[in-house]
Amino acid sequence: MRGEQGMDAERGRRWRVPPGQVAVKCAGAAAVTALVVLYSHDPQFMFLAIAAAVGLNALALRDLVAPVRLAADGAGLTVVTGYAGRRRVPWDEVSVIRVDERRRLLLHTRMLEIETTDDLHLLSAFDLGEDVHDVADELYRIRSRTRG
C-alpha cells in the first residue's frame, strides 16, 4: 500500500496504518473481550484474558484515533508521539533520516529513524503501510525540494 496518493507536492504526503491491519486488531480485541465474558468462571484465564483485552483494545484504539503516523510537506514533518499525540517538526530541526536494519536470530527488522535536534522517532512498515526505504526516499525528495 502506498502513502496517500491524493496529495500533491505542495501539500506533501501522509503515511498511515493500513486499514486491514486496523481491522485485524479490532477483531482480535473484540474476540478476546468476548472470552473475558465467556470464561468469567475461571479466575486465572480471566486475568490473562483481561490483560490481553486491555492491550489489544489500546492498540486498536490508537490505530483508530491516530491512523496517520507520519506526514511530510515543504515546511517539515508531523509525527505521532506518545500514544496518539502529534508533533510538528520543521525541516531545519531534522538532523538525520535513515533506515536501521538489524538481524537477530531469525528476525530481520527495519525501522525508519527520524532524528531531530531533541528526539528520535522510530517508525516501522506496520506504522507506515509502506516499506521504510521507500518512505525514506520520499522524505529525502520532499526535503530536497524545500532546500533547492
- What digits encode the pLDDT tens for the residues 104-132? 888 889 999 999 999 999 999 999 999 99
Q: Hunting for cell 522524505 — which residue is that? A: 139
Confidence check: pLDDT of 4 > 80: no
The full set of domain ranges for the chain reads: 19-65, 69-147
* Rounded distance between C-alpha atoms, residue 46 and residue 148, angstroms: 59
Neighbour-count burial of 48, counting CB atoms closer than 10 A to its CB (0-12 exposed, 13-18 middle, 19+ buried): middle
> Which of these, 140, 67, 69, lies nearest to 99 by C-alpha position?
140
pLDDT tens-digit map of 13-32: 999 999 999 999 999 999 99
Q: What is the pLDDT of residue 136?
A: 97
Arithmetic mean of pLDDT, 7-11: 52
Averaged pLDDT of the chain: 89
Distance CA 92, CA 16 (A): 24
Q: Give the predicted TM-score (pTM) of the model.
A: 0.80
Residue 62 has pLDDT above 50, yes or no: yes
For the chain, give the percent of residues with pLDDT over 90: 70
pLDDT of res. 52: 92
In what helix (H) or strand (E) does residue 85 lie, and over which residues does it extend?
strand 85-90
Percent of the chain with pLDDT over 70: 91
Whole-number pLDDT of residue 148: 56
**pLDDT per residue over 84-96, tens digit each?**
899 999 999 999 9
Is the CB of residue 16 less than 8 Å from the CB of residue 4?
A: yes
The answer to whether 28 and 57 have CB atoms below 8 angstroms apart is no
